[in-house]
């Protein structure tokens, strides 16, 4: 069974991941209404990915006979001033999540909880990718804020169907 301190922190992180899911959903809806279908699809996909991360954490707790407590989440920011704002918010969110994931790994190490430390390794790798993706997207959106067609073309070009990661943790309910 994972260390009690790690379990408490991971349950909180489930809420953080679900809050990120809600925020990305709000971003997707914003772009969908413009309409910017490529940006909307990108953020709908990001929302699903954040939910999946939460469900990986749920599955880990279930697998280790730890209590799962799904916390409530705050409402997302629903409106934005321009096409740059949602991406800026997303980058800030990914940086915050990176700090949270690092904190979970630190707790697992401090508690000599080697299984939980190993579980968190995948999320560390994932956060490097997420921050890089949002940083690149922010640069493109900022540079092309007046030309949404260029933004849409970039996202269409960069969005590729990814193969499932065989090293990813199991997803609860999948």
* Pairwise CA distance, residues 155 & 75, whole Å: 27
- Encode pLDDT of 22-56 as tens digits: 999 999 999 999 999 999 999 999 999 999 999 99
Query: What is d(CA 73, CA 22) in angstroms, rounded to the nearest whole number?
Result: 9
% of the chain exceeding 70 in pLDDT? 99
133 neighbors 95 (Cβ within 8 angstroms): no
Domain-by-domain residue ranges, the chain?
4-158
Q: Does the pLDDT value for residue 112 go beyond 90?
A: yes
Question: Residue with structure tokens 């956060």?
Answer: 127
pLDDT at 165 over 90: no
pLDDT at 162 over 90: no
Exposed / middle / buried, residue 114 (Cβ in 10 Å: 0-12, 13-18, 19+): exposed
Give the residue-averaged pLDDT of 59-69. 98
CA distance 56 to 172: 6
Non-local CB neighbours of 16 within 8 Å, separated by 6+ positions: 97, 100
Rounded CA gap, 135 and 92, in Å?
10
Domain 4-158, CATH 3.30.465.10 — does that match?
A: no
pLDDT of residue 161: 67
Between residues 159 and 88, the one the model is more confident about: 88
């Amino acid at each position: 069974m994972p260390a009690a301190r790690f379990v408490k922190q991971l349950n909180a992180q489930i809420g953080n991941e679900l809050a990120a899911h809600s925020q990305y959903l709000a971003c997707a809806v914003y772009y969908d209404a413009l309409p910017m279908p490529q940006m909307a699809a990108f953020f709908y996909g990001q929302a699903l990915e954040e939910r999946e991360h939460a469900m990986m954490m749920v599955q880990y707790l279930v697998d280790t006979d730890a209590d799962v407590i799904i916390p409530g989440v705050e409402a997302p920011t629903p409106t934005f001033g321009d096409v740059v704002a949602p991406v800026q918010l997303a980058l800030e969110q990914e940086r915050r999540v990176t700090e949270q994931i690092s904190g979970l790994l630190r707790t697992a190490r401090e508690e000599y909880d080697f299984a939980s430390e190993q579980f968190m390794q995948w999320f560390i790798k994932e956060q490097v990718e997420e921050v890089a993706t949002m940083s690149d997207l922010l640069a493109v959106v900022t540079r092309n804020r007046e030309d949404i067609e260029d933004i849409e073309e970039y996202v269409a070009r960069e969005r590729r169907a990814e193969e499932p990661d065989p090293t990813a943790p199991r997803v609860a309910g999948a």
